[in-house]
Amino acid sequence: MANQSVGLHVEDSGGTGRPVVLIHGWPLSGKAWEHQVPALSAAGFRVITYDRRGFGASEKPDSGFDYSTLANDLADVIAAKGLDDVTLVGFSMGGGEVARYVAEHGESKLHSVVFAAAVPPYMMKTPDNPEGPLTEDKAKEMEAGIKADRAAFFEQFTKDFFSANGELKVSEEERQKAIALCHQSDQTAALGCMEAFGTTDFRDDLKAVSVPALIIHGDADGIVPLEGSGARTHAAIPGSELVVVPGAPHGFNVSHAEDFNRHLIAFLRK
């Protein structure tokens, strides 16, 4: 059954600070937040990260990669940790969990939400979503690439992930760390989640967001372009705050960690 709960690898900094749940991007793991966890902890927050089902050290089931199931997993983490007054921070694919969680589980446990380089409102370009930044051809190319040769796909993907205007913005060591996290992903999960973040329409989900919302995005994001995603999410959520980081690629929580953390902590303190 797709909706059965699975064993998720969760890390919790502990402490009495207000909780912040960090939801990682595809096809990484909670380890992708290593530049954020110490900074947020030092700022007085309790930081929880977890590996999405099928990724990192979490259980690797053969199904359940639709966003409603993934949002149920997030709800399970919140319940298991007894969290309240929490901020959800969704990076890239993780922004979809934030949107779907709000739509299906409500905001009673939430203080605020953050969409960081996130995929909402709707990635796939369709006749009724002409601003979608992902074409069907590009989606098929990605799927074929990871099926044909995972190592070659992750090699190129991490370059694109951390590059702004063709220039790599992180050290080779940082890129290799990301590649290692990519390789921890289960192939079934990687493909299932690729389909989910590419084809899920979050436009109605975003209408449910009424808690304070931060949209933070790099203006040189080549994976989830600002114009087709973050800017539209900002427009869709009344009163939301938009922070654009100049010259920042998709993986800007690593490449521009200081700027990212400064803006995030300023928002969390509100």
Active site residue 221: yes
CA angle (31 as vertex; 104, 72 as ends), nearest 5: 15
β-pair partners for 213 = 113
The one catalytic residue in 217, 234, 250, 256 is: 250
Q: Residues 45, 209, 255, CA angle at the centre, nearest 5°?
A: 50
List % helix, strand, coil for the chain (3-state, nearest 5).
40, 15, 40
DSSP-assigned letter for residue 126: B
Catalytic residue among 221, 234, 256, 263: 221
For the chain, what is the radius of gyration of the CA atoms? 17
- Residue 263: active-site member: no
Is residue 92 flagged as an active site residue? yes
User: Pairing between strand 167-168 and 163-164?
Assistant: antiparallel
Contact between 138 and 155 under an 8 Å Cβ cutoff? The reply is no
Measured distance CA(123)–CA(119) in Å, rounded: 6
Exactly one of 58, 92, 163, 255 is catalytic; name it: 92
Joined tokens for residue 190: 């990687």
**Which residues carry out catalysis?**
92, 221, 250
